Amino acid sequence: MPGPQQRGPRRPLSVRGPRPAARTGGNSRVRIAVGRILLIGALLIAGVKLVQVQGIQADELADQAKKQRTTRLNIPAERGSILDRNGNQLAFSIEVRALYILPQRARKTWDEARAKEPEKYPLSYDDHMREVAKFISSTLGPEVNGEKTDEESVYQQLVKDISYEVLVSEAEPAKAAKIVEKYPAEIGSEYRSKRIYPNGDLASNIIGAANWRQDEKPPTVQGILGLESAQDNVLAGRMGRRVVDTMSGDDTLIIPNTERELVKPQPGKSLELTIDIDTQYAVQRMVTDYAKKSGAKNASAVVLDSRTGEIVAMANDKTYDPTDFGKANEDQLRNGAVSSSFEPGSVNKIVTAAAAVEYGLFKPDDVLQVPGSLKVADRVIRDAWTHNTVPMSFTGVFAKSSNVGTLLAAQEVGKERYAEMLQKFGLGRRTQSGVPAEEAGVVPPLNQWSGSTFGNLPIGQGLSMTLLQMTGMYQAIANDGVRIPPRLIRAEIGEEGARSEKPRPEGVRVVSKETAKTVRDMFRSVTQSDPRDPNQNGTGAKAAMPGYQIAGKTGTAQQIDPTCKCYSQSQYWITFAGILPADNPRYVVGIMLDAPHGTQFSASAAPLFHDIATFLTQRFQVPMSAEQTPFVQLQM
Amino acid sequence: MTVVADKPKSKRKVRPAGRVASLRGGMTAWLSRPLADFHLLLAIFGMLTVLGLVMVLSASAPGQVASGVSAYSVFQKQLIYVCIGSVLFWLVLRFPLRRLRHLSTAAMGIGVLLLALVLTPLGDVRGGARSWFTVGPISFQPIEAVKLALALWGAHVLVTKRALLSQYRHLLVPVVPVAMLVFALVMLQPDLGGTITLGVVLISLLWFVGAPMRLFGVIAGGAVAGAVVLAIGAAYRLQRVTTFLNPDADPLGAGLQARQAMFALAEGGLFGKGLAQGSSQWRYLPNVESDFIFAVIGEELGFVGCALVLALFGGLAWVGLRVAARNTDPWIRIVSATLTVWLVAQAAINIGYVVRLLPVTGITLPMISSGGTSVVTTMVVFGILANCARHEPDAVAALRSLGPGRVGGLLKLPAPEAYRPPPKRKPVRPSTPPRAPGRRTQQLPVVDERRMAGRSAPPSEYRRRETRRVNQGRSEQGRSTRGRGRYN
């Protein structure tokens, strides 16, 4: 390579040639060497830096890198179903998809793409969205579960000036997939789960409601009311989790082979209830009808299996649609059979009867001289009908529901033994039945009794109980003196049908078997009717069923008048509790009507018992009693 | 280092100095073979091409799939460009360098014209720079061709004027003004990376032509001043510089690329995650298949892969400058040195900013980054370098005496011409080496004969000529022995 010319006029001609040449060559060699050193040196410096990055700092930087890619994905756990005793579904979950769009972003992307390649995107964003709306509407139909999906309303959503818009929240997965496949750039689809209640408002007061909660973290179906809420932990199961690496900016695009820390989802367990769906339906309908007929503010009925204490049906006249519980009012949401307590009235007389028989104080055919009134402390108690002192059989005292006669018997029993009996019957405490929102009722403790308390409790005033507790008392008598706390949940069904039965609660011996039978037999007379002598009529003659012995008790309790804080003379709790059939008990039915008035059905719940019992005998093919209820002389 | 001169050396290799010595001896012997540079260049070229294709596929596939197109779409394009480049490589390898030199002036003119045209609406704007011509399905950047044209033409001008280069006027005009014009046109696009590469080409031209050191001092000062002015002049460039100085200030904005590149390299560690197992191409690292492909190499092939790439470019630097050193034709010397510096400097700058030694400039990694014009141009450059390697006097002698060899035969390469110094040189330049007169008289008939035979002369021509050149070979041998050390 030629270099700067070196002139050497003093040098001899012979040496002039080689010297500059050597110099040029030398210069060129040096420059090439310098070039080499610079280039290779630069690469070496990069190499040194690489050693630092890939060796020394590698772990620290790699950790940061891993963090930014990691996405935790929740694998939704399937929520358990709620089944009746025969495996019919009362509530179950299905998978659905929410379709959404990011309208602002979609518009921006579309306009940019269109500006770049106008021939590929001939339509404007709005026109394009018309097409999209048309496709969505034709795929989904005009409406999905109350959400409008006709072309115009979808179009309006698509072109909204908003960052995020859910088009449909409960689309079928197959249809959603079809839409997303056609318009992947615009429409997104999201997993949702939907709770289905195939029977509508049937038993909704018990089952409650669950729905998709988008605000939960992570979003999931959550029980809001009733069993769905109370048993949420069992039903919900546990979400699975996996950790994956995902593409930057798109957490749904998983980089292959990066799945790790896999935790399988644990599907929720299904609950098998003791409810029989058909009975529940019939009872619910009858209760609703009767509440209307009788003009009652509220009405409830409970059907227990007398041998197991299982709740076969529990109905209220007011229910709600679980898929739209937001519209329901307080009364509809309440399960009156367990969450409202009331004074039971004469139904409570069974405590006195059982105690008196248990302690051998009276036999059914003992005759009592019942005066027209009885003074207890500062109160004078009368019967529902005016009479002078009349001789009544012990059975007759209860069949005719004589307050005075009952109190006479109670006084024989004594306060302590009576209080103890109340406790044995399970009053004043929750039954632990598993029905959500259960009340305990109020029984004044013995040491707080005033003088008149013992004049009130035996006739069912001054204490309160729920309908379930009331029915439970009769279950004890029906089940030969052993009270089995009522229950609602029979079994939990886990994965692959693994069924784990809930242990049957421990029975409580209330009275002896003989006492129970005696009391049952005595209470049969409540349904007795004698067309020749009205004095021999029981109070619940309308509950009687041909072919079956029915033991039961009517009740009428005065409600508290909120204006005077005294017992009202116009508003009553009308109750009834009955055993079907009395000679071989299978079912116990409890009924409560809250303040019925104004109709011929307002005075008694016995006709409703009759209807329910009739249904039960047919539904469960209850064999007829071997003999008719024998006639008993009630009033001498 | 001529064939004859080295032969005795290689025979002496059987010294009992141990295995290392014998290995070194073997290496030296192999390297001193006449076509060693040519073969090394071919090897480097091949490895870089294959590595580039593999890495482009690996780096581009996920992003392409995510955009809803074929995973191979970028790779296919790259493959097509590599095929075009291979054909051009072969054509350039066959092309007589003398004619290339003669064409360089025209090429430079066309290049400047294209650079001017690309600024008009004829050019396409991509990535914020008006630097593309699009003709139907193909698009290209004139800047890449202009870099090459500047190297060839600049060398041509400087070599032609080499007698007058002691005067600054002749040294600088017309090369520097034309280069400045080109810089200006490129900065109007704007394309900082292109300007820097052009600057490297210009400086290396001046460096190897033997410009005084003082000039480089001035250039260094000017470059620093220019860099400062440019950096402050445009917001995005200033941001790049501040990002480089304080990389963690904005890890999701300006510092994103540099940070993600660090992550990718670090995750690769020593041996890497394996091909296609990297994650930066999942849109974590923008421009991953072009500017930042070295990060993917680091992630998937680890330090080993990076070291291989560094070694390949280091090898290119060494071999390319060795070609320059071993050639006698001053134009070939300058051209091969300049082209080598261009490629290696470009690689070094790219790798430098990937490993965060330099601020980010959009300079691609030659042969490996995806990018059509760049890869085609680089392949042409490799073609010229390989052609230069075949013009080393030893290679010329060997090819002419022993035939084209296995590679040359396979590629049907014509025999290279020997260098014939310009006849005018002697009277004008008293500094011409004293051997020149002898050589000229003896070499003239060779060239004439070569011209008569034409480029498509049959291979048998070598053998025919062999006998004819016995005398000539002898005299050459004698001369080389005498002048040994001058060109090795």
Q: Are strands A82-83 and A270-273 parallel, antiparallel or unpaired?
A: parallel
Q: What is the pLDDT of residue A45?
A: 94
Residue among B143, B139, B134 at smallest CA distance from B115: B143
**CB neighbourhood size of A565 (10 A):** 7
pLDDT in tens, B117-164: 998 888 888 877 888 888 877 788 899 999 999 999 999 999 999 888
Torsion angle (degrees, nearest 10) of CA B234, B236, B241, B245: 140
B461/B466 Cα distance (integer angstroms): 8
pLDDT in tens, A501-540: 999 889 999 999 999 999 999 999 999 998 888 889 999 9
Q: What is the pLDDT of residue A5?
A: 47
Query: Are residues B317 and A4, on separate chains, in Cβ contact within 8 Å?
Result: no
Query: Are residues A245 and B432, on separate chains, in Cβ contact within 8 Å?
Result: no
Write down the H helix ranges in A433-487: 453-456, 467-478
pLDDT in tens, B325-341: 999 999 999 999 999 99
Q: What is the pLDDT of residue B435?
A: 54
Q: B424 vs B51, which has greater pLDDT?
A: B51
Mean pLDDT score across all residues of chain A: 89
Q: Are B300 and B331 in contact (CB under 8 A)?
A: no
Q: What is the pLDDT of residue A72?
A: 84
**pLDDT at position A446 over 80:** yes
pLDDT in tens, B190-208: 888 888 999 999 999 999 9
Residue among A348, A475, A464, A477 at smallest CA distance from A407: A348
Separation of first and last alpha carbons in chain B: 4
Query: Are residues A53 and B279, on separate chains, in Cβ contact within 8 Å?
Result: no
Using 50, 70 and 90 to split pLDDT, how confident is the model at B257?
A: confident
Q: How far is A129 from chain B, CA to nearest CA, in Å?
A: 20
Q: What is the pLDDT of residue A279?
A: 96
**pLDDT at position B473 over 70:** no
Q: How far is B193 from chain A, CA to nearest CA, in Å?
A: 18
**pLDDT at position B444 over 70:** no
Query: Are residues B348 and A39, on separate chains, in Cβ contact within 8 Å?
Result: yes
Q: How far is B114 from chain A, CA to nearest CA, in Å?
A: 25
Q: What is the pLDDT of residue A89?
A: 94
Most A CBs within 10 A among B164, B279, B479, hence the mutation to make, goes to B279
Q: How far is B89 from chain A, CA to nearest CA, in Å?
A: 24
**CB neighbourhood size of A345 (10 A):** 25
**pLDDT at position A195 over 60:** yes
* Mean pLDDT on A283-306: 94
Q: What is the pLDDT of residue B9?
A: 45
Closest chain B CA to residue A249: B283
A32/B318 Cα distance (integer angstroms): 10
Residue among B187, B218, B219, B221 at smallest CA distance from B203: B219
**pLDDT at position B308 over 90:** yes
Q: How far is A181 from chain B, CA to nearest CA, in Å?
A: 12
Chain A / chain B CB contacts < 8 angstroms: 184
**pLDDT at position B443 over 70:** no
What's the alpha-carbon Rg for chain A, to the nearest Å? Answer: 41
Q: How far is CA B176 from CA A2, A266, B103, B253, in A?
A: 18, 76, 20, 38
Query: Are residues B333 and A49, on separate chains, in Cβ contact within 8 Å?
Result: no
Q: Token pair 């006669």 is at which residue?
A: A405
Query: Are residues A184 and B204, on separate chains, in Cβ contact within 8 Å?
Result: no
Query: Are residues A61 and B208, on separate chains, in Cβ contact within 8 Å?
Result: no
Share of chain A above pLDDT 70, in %: 96
Catalytic positions of A, written as ranges? 346
Phi, psi at residue A342, to the nearest 5°?
-145, 170
Query: Are residues B306 and A50, on separate chains, in Cβ contact within 8 Å?
Result: yes
Q: What is the pLDDT of residue B248?
A: 73
Query: Are residues A17 and B430, on separate chains, in Cβ contact within 8 Å?
Result: yes
Q: What is the pLDDT of residue A13?
A: 45
Nearest neighbour of A16 by CB, restricted to B162, B165, B431 = B431
Closest chain B CA to residue A253: B66
Query: Are residues B333 and A21, on separate chains, in Cβ contact within 8 Å?
Result: no
pLDDT in tens, B1-58: 333 444 444 444 445 568 888 889 888 888 888 889 999 999 999 999 999 999 999 9
Nearest neighbour of B266 by CB, restricted to A25, A57, A248 = A57
* Mean pLDDT on B349-375: 89
A187/A129 Cα distance (integer angstroms): 11
Q: Are strands A143-144 and A147-148 parallel, antiparallel or unpaired?
A: antiparallel
Query: Are residues A255 and B345, on separate chains, in Cβ contact within 8 Å?
Result: no
Nearest neighbour of A61 by CB, restricted to B209, B263, B351 = B263
Q: Are B350 and B291 in contact (CB under 8 A)?
A: yes
pLDDT in tens, A63-102: 888 888 888 888 889 999 999 999 999 999 999 999 999 9
Q: Which positions in chain A touch B66 (Cβ < 8 Å)?
A: 247, 250, 253
What's the alpha-carbon Rg for chain B, to the nearest Å? Answer: 24
Q: Which positions in chain A touch B162 (Cβ < 8 Å)?
A: 2
A91/A539 Cα distance (integer angstroms): 41
Nearest neighbour of A255 by CB, restricted to B282, B302, B337 = B282
Most confident of A441-445, B187-191, B439-443: A441-445
**pLDDT at position B454 over 60:** no
**CB neighbourhood size of B289 (10 A):** 25
Most A CBs within 10 A among B44, B257, B265, B309, hence the mutation to make, goes to B265
Q: Token pair 């394309």 is at which residue?
A: B191
B397/B390 Cα distance (integer angstroms): 10
Query: Are residues A62 and B325, on separate chains, in Cβ contact within 8 Å?
Result: no
Q: What is the pLDDT of residue B488?
A: 38
Q: What is the pLDDT of residue B429?
A: 52
Q: How far is CA B488 from CA A64, A327, A544, A607, B31, in A?
A: 52, 98, 129, 125, 13
Separation of first and last alpha carbons in chain A: 147
Distance of CA B195 to the CA centre of its chain: 16
**pLDDT at position B295 over 70:** yes
Q: B461 vs B103, which has greater pLDDT?
A: B103
Most B CBs within 10 A among A16, A39, A44, A61, hence the mutation to make, goes to A39
How large is the ipTM?
Answer: 0.81
Closest chain A CA to residue B311: A43
Nearest neighbour of B266 by CB, restricted to A29, A43, A53 = A53
Q: Which positions in chain A touch B207 (Cβ < 8 Å)?
A: 31, 35
Q: Which positions in chain A touch B267 (Cβ < 8 Å)?
A: 58, 61-62, 65-66
**pLDDT at position B452 over 70:** no
Q: How far is B214 from chain A, CA to nearest CA, in Å?
A: 12
